[in-house]
Amino acid sequence: MEPLTLFLSALGLAMFIEGLPYFVAPSGVKRWLAQAQTLRNGILRLIGLCLMLAGLLVAWLSLR
């Protein structure tokens, strides 16, 4: 598979997964976003870091 094709496929899949909660449960997303505003920045950064590391691990494992 060509690198650009692989990248665009991964980007499309990420966009699909990111958009799924907004389509399936928009009220739940609103509720979660309201709760997220009460969290400290450090907690949100930690969540983001964990998600990025998990994503990199999945990508690395898939390419092995």
pLDDT category at 62 given cuts 50, 70, 90 is: confident
For residue 41, being part of any structural domain is answered with yes
pTM of the model: 0.72
How many Å apart are CA 47 and CA 49, to the nearest integer?
5
For residue 37, being part of any structural domain is answered with yes
For residue 8, being part of any structural domain is answered with no
Which range marks the domain in which residue 53 is found?
A: 18-63
For residue 57, being part of any structural domain is answered with yes
For residue 45, being part of any structural domain is answered with yes
How many Å apart are CA 1 and CA 6, to the nearest integer?
6
For residue 2, being part of any structural domain is answered with no
pLDDT of 6 over the 90 cut: no
Yes or no: say if 36 and 43 are a contact pair by the CB < 8 Å rule: no
For residue 24, being part of any structural domain is answered with yes
Instruction: Give the pLDDT confidence of 13-54 residue by residue, as tens digits.
Output: 999 999 999 999 999 999 999 999 999 999 999 999 999 999
For residue 55, being part of any structural domain is answered with yes
How many Å apart are CA 30 and CA 51, to the nearest integer?
20
- The number of folded domains in the chain is 1
